Amino acid sequence: MTLRLRLPLAASAVFGLIAVLLAVGALFPAIGHSIGKLSIPTGVSQLLGGADYGTITGWYRSEMGSVYGPLLIAAVAIISASASTAGEEEDRVLGLLLAHPVERSRLIVAKAAAIATIVVMVAVACWVGLIAGVALAGGGIGVGHLAAFCLQLAFFGFATGAVALALGAGTGRRSLANGVAAGVAIIGWLINGFAPLVSAISWLKYLSLFHYYEGNDPLTHGVDIADIIVLGAVALLLTAVATISIEHRDLRA
């Protein structure tokens, strides 16, 4: 049921993402090298993944990897997670569903699996769109590195979605789950961009989910197993928190 209800959101995200990836690739031959000559302040450059617009790798890292890609997959994961837990409780659906012989923990695990499936769909679409977009731009990034980027993007989606899942299951408040999970993603993006510029607080980047998604620059260096493990562990831990918290709470009938 969760998959069926969230498929329209996933489908719109998939089609929009592929369209943007193709457009970005098609634009690079015309304007990429010109923009690459611009001088960008260090702080802005950090937020845009280095802002190296003169190469196809830097172009896609700045245009897609640093803002649009993670923003889109986080939004899909967060909205799906909060809607399938707190949203269904607010709509008086969850209590009716649990009147059947279904354990709460099993239900949350099933919903987490459905949300993970949706995130994977978006990540696979991103990979397909990147392959086509890079081909339109004239090539320059291997299929393996594109897959590495999309893998780390998917795990970022798992982790941010799990934040909303835990909050939705634990509080039953959709707005709270959406707001806090979105705040975690956005603040993490800001920390990852600005903390490295000040040596005294550079350690804060390790508290950002965004750092474990982008810090190794998968478009250039491939998959970082340690980063994948951290994001996966966060997703599993928060899913466990969701299953435990909903077991000990009175649901709205």
Confidence (pLDDT) at 252: 66
Confidence (pLDDT) at 4: 87
More confident residue, 114 or 203: 114
Mean pLDDT of 156-185: 94
CA atoms within 13 A of residue 148's CA, in its CB half-sphere: 20
Q: Is 173 helix (H, G, I), strand (E, B) or coil?
A: coil
End-to-end CA distance of the chain: 20
The amino acid at 115: I
Taking CA atoms, 87 is separated from 84, 92, 104, 172, 210, in Å, by 6, 9, 16, 7, 26
pLDDT at 253 over 70: no
pLDDT at 2 over 60: yes
pTM reported for the whole predicted model: 0.88
For 88, the token pair is 């269904």
Cα dihedral 5, 175, 233, 224, rounded to 10, equals: 80
Mean pLDDT of 211-232: 90
For 112, the token pair is 């987490």
Confidence (pLDDT) at 73: 95
**Tens digits of per-residue pLDDT, 50-104?**
556 678 888 888 878 888 899 999 999 999 999 999 888 888 888 777 777 888 8
Averaged confidence pLDDT in the chain: 86
Give percent above pLDDT 90 in the chain.
Answer: 49
Helical packing angle, 104-137 and 2-27, nearest 10°: 20
Give the integer Cα–Cα distance in Å for 208 and 152: 14
Confidence (pLDDT) at 93: 82
More confident residue, 119 or 6: 119
